[in-house]
Amino acid sequence: MTATVLPESCTGTVQGLNDHGEGLVNLSGQCYCIRGALPGERITFAPGLPYTPHARFSPGRLLSVEKAHPRRNLSPCPLGEHCGGCPLYSFDYNAQLQFKFGRLKEALEKVLSHTSAPPVEVQLRPAPQVQGSRHKSIRYFAKGAEGKAKLGFYAPLSHTLCPVDCCPQETAAVNAFASSLLRLCQEHALEAYDERSGLGILRHLLIRDNGTGTLVAQLGLTAPPPLSFEQELSRLGAEHQVAACYLCVNEEPGNSVLKGTLRCLGPHDHALFTLLSHEFFLKPHTFTQVNPQVAELLYREALEHAGSNPKGTAWDLCCGIGTMTLPLARRFGRVTGVELAAPSVHVARNNAILNGIDNVSFVCADLAAFRPQPGSAPAAVIADPPRKGLGDEGLQLLRALVPGTRVSAIYCEQKALLRELPRLLESGFELQGISAFDMFPYTFKLEVLLKLLKRR
């Protein structure tokens, strides 16, 4: 069989972006996917072989830009070409924001055109801060030169590691601790875990920042480390304001961050963070929004739409650790939070005690099993479901609400939003507003708030 000979370079015009942020160039019936290329640009790239034999799509590597997009980022992140964290890194901030906002508006207009709902203007809420806005980091270990461990993020669609010393999107405290911990691992000659061979001890590093530079950290391992390393790790944590440092030992194959046996090295098992003037416990596995500044904007707007009724009741569906349940309890006489994850419910109850709030209750159940008390119809509901959306059970729960109920529904996944919005409108809801929040700058993601009112 004759090997395919590819030209060293090709020139073409970028016709759009795929869902991974790669520019698409069509030449002679083949579509090349080129990271870092923007729509409308005239570029030169090195073509690659098809992803699979006879496939129409092939990778390409950007060599030069002959005609640049007018809003190209002139100072892009040096990690952008290799790291999978920011697919829209080649745009400047406002351009990436308008690009993904335009995609969202177009998709919403198409869905709403098949309903009887009147047009609704979609409001855009930019991130107040871009650099240093991500307060959670998950980095993975791999073997580097001379067998030394390296630490970083996975490249797009792979488990190939992109070494990272400093991520501009993450906080300074997160970057500093991650770099120091890597040096400590190298000094103790700890080897990175290899998924294929099963050898090595270092798996991952999870870090959370409470917004003031105080950290909670979890080091993932395949086995307990030497005592001398644990002692040095405790000392390092104290130097970097790590309020709680955990070891997570997972002997099973794979790279799951959530699996394993947790052990806290010090006397404190948490940090505290503040959101909407309330304090919350911060631990490795409790869900919190990655971008607290945008989360405050989102939550405040959701709460404002919910309104207030000192004698009424309200629900917070998929409530997590109660970050919206507790502020909601300041507005209503009685609030019920519903959450499937038992650890989150436990933390939520402790958060209520921490804040001196006694007019809330938390139910550990999925939405299908939630049984409201008879005669306790809520005046308002906040729902912040996971990526899959509310599902049939959650939509049925909202369908049964009485007319006049206000609902703030938050979607983190556009597919779920577009799938469930028509069903909400068919259930008797009026769409009173839509707001899109840039929780994850330089990604395709927008958190979307639907402001709904039950009319029938």
Q: What is the pLDDT of residues 354-374, one digit of tens each?
A: 999 999 999 999 999 998 887
pLDDT band at 286 (very low <50, low <70, confident <90, very high): confident
pLDDT at 1 > cutoff 70 = no
Backbone torsion region of residue 211, taken as left when φ is above 0, otherwise alpha when ψ lies between -120 and 50, otherwise beta: left
pLDDT at position 3 is 65
Does 30 reside within a domain? yes
Structure tokens at 377: 């119809």
Please indicate, yes or no, whether residues 360 and 390 belong to a single structural domain of this protein. Answer: yes
Residues 160, 49 share a domain = no
> CATH code at 430?
3.40.50.150
In a domain, 284, yes or no: no
**Has residue 21 been placed in a domain?**
yes
Write out the residue range of the structural domain in which residue 256 sits. Answer: 136-271
pLDDT of residue 47: 96
pLDDT digits (tens, 9 = 90+) for 64-79: 999 999 999 988 898 8
In this structure, the answer to whether residues 124 and 141 fall within a common structural domain is no
Statement to judge: residues 120 and 141 lie in one domain: no
CATH number of the domain residue 161 falls in: 2.40.50.1070
pLDDT bin (cut points 50, 70, 90) of residue 419 is very high
Rounded distance between C-alpha atoms, residue 202 and residue 205, angstroms: 9
pLDDT at 83: 87
First to last CA, the chain: 68
Total number of domains in the chain? 3
Q: Which region holds residue 16: left if phi is over 0, alpha if psi is between -120 and 50, else beta?
A: left
Q: What are phi and psi of 57, to 5 degrees?
A: -105, 140
Confidence of residue 311 (pLDDT cuts 50, 70, 90): very high
Q: Is residue 89 part of a domain?
A: no
Q: What is the pLDDT of residue 20?
A: 87
Inside any domain, residue 411? yes
Q: What is the pLDDT of residue 152?
A: 96
- Does position 84 have pLDDT exceeding 90, yes or no? no
Please say if the pLDDT value at position 2 is more than 70: no
Residues 299, 265 share a domain:
no
pLDDT computed for residue 4 by the predictor? 74
Report yes or no on 75 lying in a domain: no
One domain for residues 303 and 440: yes
Contact predicate 32/12, CB 8 Å: yes
- Residues 316 and 449 reside in one and the same domain: yes
Residues 142 and 231 in one domain: yes
As a three-state string, the secondary structure of the chain is CCCCCCCCCEEEECCEECCCCEEEEEECCEEEEEECCCCCCEEEEEECCCCCCCCCEEEEEEEEEEECCCCECCCCCCCCCCCCCCCCCCECHHHHHHHHHHHHHHHHHHHHCCCCCCCCCEEEECCCCCCCCECEEEEEEEECHHHCEEEEEECCCCCCEEECCCCCCECHHHHHHHHHHHHHHHHCCCCECCCCCCCCCEEEEEEEECCCCCEEEEEEECCCCCHHHHHHHHHHHHHCCEEEEEEEECCCCCCCCCCCEEEECCCCCCEEEEECCEEEEECCCCCCCCCHHHHHHHHHHHHHHHCCEEEEEEEEECCCCCCCHHHHHCCEEEEEEEECCHHHHHHHHHHHHHCCCCCEEEEECCCCCCCCCCCCCCCEEEECCCCCCCHHHHHHHHHCCCCCCEEEEEECCHHHHHHHHHHHHHCCEEEEEEEEECCCCCCCCCEEEEEEEECC
Q: Is the pLDDT of residue 101 over 70?
A: yes
Residue 220: the pLDDT is 97
449 and 330 both lie in a single domain: yes
| Domain identity same for 241 and 374 | no
Segment 172-224, tens digit of pLDDT = 999 999 999 999 999 999 999 998 899 999 999 999 999 999 999 999 999 99
Q: Please indicate, yes or no, whether residues 316 and 382 belong to a single structural domain of this protein.
A: yes
Average pLDDT over residues 41-47: 97
Do 386 and 430 sit in the same domain of this protein? Answer: yes
- Return d(Cα 129, Cα 297) in angstroms, integer: 12
Domain assignment present for 80: no
pLDDT band per the 50, 70, 90 thresholds, residue 5: confident
Looking at the domain assignment, is residue 87 inside a domain?
Answer: no
Chain mean pLDDT for the chain:
95
Tell me, what CATH number does 62's domain have? 2.40.50.140
- For residue 38, the model assigns a pLDDT of 96
pLDDT tens digits, residue range 102-130?
999 999 999 999 999 998 999 999 999 99
| Residues 6+ positions from 102 with CB-CB distance below 8 Å | none
User: pLDDT tens digit string along 224-283?
Assistant: 999 999 999 999 999 999 999 999 999 998 888 989 999 999 899 999 999 999 999 999
